[in-house]
Amino acid sequence: MTKLFEREASLMVCLRDERSHVKVEKPEIRPTEKLYQPAINVKNAKMDISQVSTMSNRRVSKELDELKKSSLDNFNVFLTQENLLFWKVIMKGPDGTPYAGYYWLLSVEFSSDFPFQPPNIRFITPIYHCNINDDGRICHEILQSKWTHQTSMRVVFQEILDLIRDPNPDYALSAVIGAQYKSNHLDYEKSIKNLNEKEAKKTISAIMKDYKLTEN
């Protein structure tokens, strides 16, 4: 029961923060210069951890090293080598969901307080999901009260994928989308597919070209 209350408290923080901002009809994601800096697939990136000085950079380097060792289903991580604290990530929609066959770009930004503070993760490509807002912000406890300095990025990505597969309409960032999920699931899936066709049809190659991502 205690864990349930902790989970609810964490998710309520998402809702409180979301509703504390002034709403605009169609918020726009404002791309930063970092999104267009050349980046290489982490699998082929060369890193010398011994040359990394700050705690945040050392931990990020360790996370990257772990991702290099084994594949990460549905995610391709790209490292901007001039800035270890900013990643670009391509997510493949999970099979068996309305998102299957489509691709999304996400940004991951680590603060100088990492790993004691969670990274800021956003969907750059718009996605229709009751727990992700129009600005790409994700409401998940792993990025709130459940975050610890030991949380790995592999776990974070897996939790995001699980959220895509299994939304939580009780803590929807959009009350309208949450209600739609509960009352008319077929209509909810139709809305997903409509936005997918509009925003997420680009191939991995096209996304890589647009955002200067390379394999080597």
Residue 92 φ then ψ, to 5°: -90, 130
CA distances from 160 to 53, 139, 183 (A): 30, 10, 24
Q: Which residue in 121, 139, 160, 172 is the catalytic one? A: 139
Q: Round to whole Å and give the CA distance between 84 and 13.
A: 29
> Any catalytic annotation for residue 14?
no
Q: Round to whole Å and give the CA distance between 165 and 167.
A: 6
Q: Which residue has the tokens 């959220």?
A: 163
Beta sheet of 103-109, edge-to-edge order: 120-123, 103-109, 86-92, 75-79, 39-41, 213-214
Q: Round to whole Å and give the CA distance between 159 and 6.
A: 17
Q: Round to whole Å and give the CA distance between 190 and 37.
A: 35
Look up residue 25 and give its two tokens. Answer: 């009809």
Look up residue 45 and give its two tokens. Answer: 């990136």
Residue 87 φ then ψ, to 5°: -115, 155
Active site members: 139
